[in-house]
Amino acid sequence: MNCKTSGHIAIPGKKEWGNPDEGDLEARYAHSNFFGKSLLEAVQMFQENALHFQEDLGSMPAIPFNFYVMAFVTYITSDLAEGDADGAFAFLRMTHWQIRHRSDLIDMEVLSAMQLACASVAQRQKFYAAEDPDSYGDFSEHYKAIISMS
């Protein structure tokens, strides 16, 4: 298999990514941003700009998605995310979208981790400095919507 390892988890390689469709610019961009990155490197990317990099997750095949979404989970539930209102809100929106549109691609353990992370994010809206209801709404309401779909 064409994978390097990141701890005990294999970094998705060419086989897991496949060949991004030349016409699918988002898939090609996600591949160029994440291909070959370790979980730690991906966590650092989310720390740098979670709002930007979370968009790539929706354009990944199943195995890379399940691998790299765990970097977003790790980042958004860590102290590194303090004050990252946009990242926290984006995590909730991304989780909602993935469950609604691509739930068949999400590994059950990964889904559980995403849901636990959503619960944590919902309880710490102030931690993320996401208190403007016009911009971010009520995180607990976003969480309820996510859980109601699961």
pLDDT, tens only, 104-128: 899 999 999 999 999 999 999 999 9
Mean pLDDT value across residues 126-141: 95
pLDDT, tens only, 58-105: 999 999 999 999 999 999 999 999 999 999 999 999 999 999 999 989
The CA distance from 80 to 102, in Å, is 28
Q: How far is CA 24 from the centre of its chain?
A: 20
Model pLDDT, residue 122: 98
Cα–Cα–Cα angle for 62, 95, 146, nearest 5°? 130
Q: What is the mean pLDDT of the chain?
A: 92
